[in-house]
Amino acid sequence: MIKEELTKIVGKGNLSDDEETIKAYSSDMSLNQGRKPMAVVKPKDRDEVQKIVKLANEHLIPLVPVSSKVHFHGETIPEQGGIVIDLSTMDKVLEVDARNRKVKIEPGVTWGKVQEALHEHNQMALQPLFPHPLRSALTSSLEREPMLIPKYEYAEPVLTMEVVLPTGDLFKTGTASATKTEEAYPEGPGIDFFRFFQAAQGTLGIVTWLNIKTEYLPKHQKPFFIPFDRIEQLAEPIYRIQRRHIGNECFVLNRMHLAVLLAEDFKKDFEKLRDTLPPFTLIVVIAGASRRPLERIAYEEEALGEISSELLFEPKKTVGGIAGLGDTMLKLLRTPQSADNYWKARYKGSTQDIFFITTLNRVKEFHDKVYEKASQQGYSPQDIGVYLQPLERGRACHLEFSFSCDLTSSKEVEKVKQLSRELSEEMISSGGFFSRPYGEWADMVYRRTSVYTWTLKEIKKIFDPKNIMNPGKLCF
């Protein structure tokens, strides 16, 4: 009967409950246990979303909002059954506001789509590291995924949004709640509601559109690749580069990640590349602004040269002897990859990532702990991918360790799962901040902070009195 009512809302072709569909939504790229939904619905607009939510409230049916066609952290696997509400067909770039440098997107808009729309206006959205082409830009932004360009001092790019609350009521944050505004300013109404929906994994409402900041798309760019042998050598250069406002993109990949990314013929090139690439590469892209771009590149490059002289490192045009690496990297940064060649899947089909936020001066400490434990548990160190993303002028960093895993091997899955669990506990105990507590992390994080957990639960009760929105996630 529920399914009939849902079908009335979304139309016949937009409700699926066949085995194949159910299976597809029961798991994701993570190692989290699969759980099945009852059905999957695909609303086409906000009105349908509201109706679905109201219906779910009536019947106390859990709802799991999904925007991307691919997920990595288990956040969309239903914990308690219910309906998956797949918003991926709401995929319009609603408005490019070039003047105020923002773009309004629906949940189903991928990074590729939004960047394409913005490129026409010589703009770009701040994006995370090489996102999966099917990844929702809205979800990435809401989930506080770290952005590649740390020079923007103002943290997350989220502006205003339209939300269907778990009660089915409509809500808008910031100046979007009033008329005659340009819907830019995130604060209000009353308090900063926009913050509640961030990293909420859909538990506090369904965002049906989101405004995010955009920036000028540089026409002139100069990528530099700075090799380092040891991870502790990275902190000081990054601190200084960021302090002096040098560059746009600034991030670090270890040889494993870089080899996976760059190997053209994977089987042939990967291992050799991994062996010849430097252990760590700091990638800094110096970009020209909209005016006198080459002049800006010139002085920033000179400043980078000063820092390199002081600290005795060398910014290069390539590493590992790879020809045209600069152009390759720029292309990777600007153009989404193809879905069947997603870089993280290239080695073994999947990776289990452990990521958290810390400060640059503690990176070595965490790095050493990870490698020690991995070795103890028989995971090959050379297979560990490391991604270091400075945040906000280097005041903090996102530190990520990736463990490739062949999902078809239950033994390997179990090994990686255990390693991941133990490492996560150790990282949290050592002070790594898991600001986005997916899957098992939720319990690890929330049991360590009673008052925050209590407060969140109380907020949840206010927003979602019937606890229908993605129950079981976070601390709910």
> What residues between 429 and 448 interact with other proteins by CB under 8 A?
429-437, 442, 445-446, 448
Give residues 216-245 in contact with other proteins (rule: CB under 8 A): 216, 239, 242-245
The binder of other proteins chosen from 24, 93, 330, 428 (CB under 8 A): 428
* Token pair in block for residue 355: 């990521």
Compute the distance between CA of residue 442 and CA of residue 142 in angstroms, rounded to an integer.
18
Identify which of 160, 143, 42, 138 has the alpha carbon closest to the alpha carbon of residue 93: 138
Q: How far is the CB of 312 from other proteins (least distance, A)?
A: 19
Which residues, 6 or more positions from 458, have their beta carbon under 8 angstroms from its beta carbon?
none
Candidates 38-46, 56-64, 276-284, 426-434: pick the segment binding other proteins (CB under 8 A).
Answer: 426-434
> Among residues 87 and 475, whose Cβ is nearest to other proteins?
475
Identify which of 65, 94, 89, 79 has the alpha carbon closest to the alpha carbon of residue 165: 65
> Among residues 167 and 350, whose Cβ is nearest to other proteins?
167
> Among residues 174 and 336, whose Cβ is nearest to other proteins?
174
Candidates 193-201, 272-280, 340-348, 416-424: pick the segment binding other proteins (CB under 8 A).
Answer: 193-201
* Token pair in block for residue 339: 């879905």
Instruction: Please count the residues of this chain forming the interface with other proteins, following the rule CB under 8 A.
Output: 99
Q: How far is the CB of 429 from other proteins (least distance, A)?
A: 7
Question: What DSSP character marks residue 286?
Answer: E
Q: How far is the CB of 23 from other proteins (least distance, A)?
A: 28
Which residues, 6 or more positions from 242, have their beta carbon under 8 angstroms from its beta carbon?
150, 151, 250, 390, 393, 394
The binder of other proteins chosen from 296, 316, 364, 369 (CB under 8 A): 296
Give residues 322-361 in contact with other proteins (rule: CB under 8 A): 357-361
The binder of other proteins chosen from 25, 194, 355, 403 (CB under 8 A): 194
Give residues 25-64 in contact with other proteins (rule: CB under 8 A): none
Q: Is 94 in the site for other proteins (CB under 8 A)?
A: no
Question: What DSSP character marks residue 406?
Answer: -
Quick one: how far is CA 282 from the chain centroid? Answer: 20
> Among residues 66 and 427, whose Cβ is nearest to other proteins?
427
The binder of other proteins chosen from 24, 184, 311, 330 (CB under 8 A): 184
Cβ pair 297, 247 in contact under 8 A = no
Give residues 452-471 in contact with other proteins (rule: CB under 8 A): 452, 454-456, 458-459, 461-463
CA distances in angstroms from 44 to 51, 52, 103, listed in the order given: 12, 11, 20
- Across 28-186, where does the E strand assignment appear? 39-41, 63-66, 83-86, 93-97, 102-105, 123-125, 158-164, 170-172
Give residues 97-156 in contact with other proteins (rule: CB under 8 A): 99-102, 144, 152-156
Q: Is 303 in the site for other proteins (CB under 8 A)?
A: yes
Amino acid at 179: T
Q: How far is the CB of 121 from other proteins (least distance, A)?
A: 11
Q: How far is the CB of 169 from other proteins (least distance, A)?
A: 7
> Among residues 139 and 404, whose Cβ is nearest to other proteins?
139
The binder of other proteins chosen from 120, 264, 295, 314 (CB under 8 A): 295
- What mask of x and - would describe binding to other proteins in positions 147 to 176, judged by CB under 8 A? -----xxxxx--x---------xxxx--x-
Q: How far is the CB of 151 from other proteins (least distance, A)?
A: 9
- Provide φ and ψ at 84, rounded to 5°: -85, 125
3-class DSSP state of 346: coil
- For 252-273, letters b (16+ CB in 10 Å) and e give bbbbbbbbbbbbeeeeeebeeb
The binder of other proteins chosen from 85, 396, 416, 468 (CB under 8 A): 396
User: Residues for the chain: how many in total?
Assistant: 476
- What mask of x and - would describe binding to other proteins in positions 375 to 394, judged by CB under 8 A? -----------------xxx
Q: At what angle do helices 255-262 and 325-334 cross, to 10 degrees?
A: 80
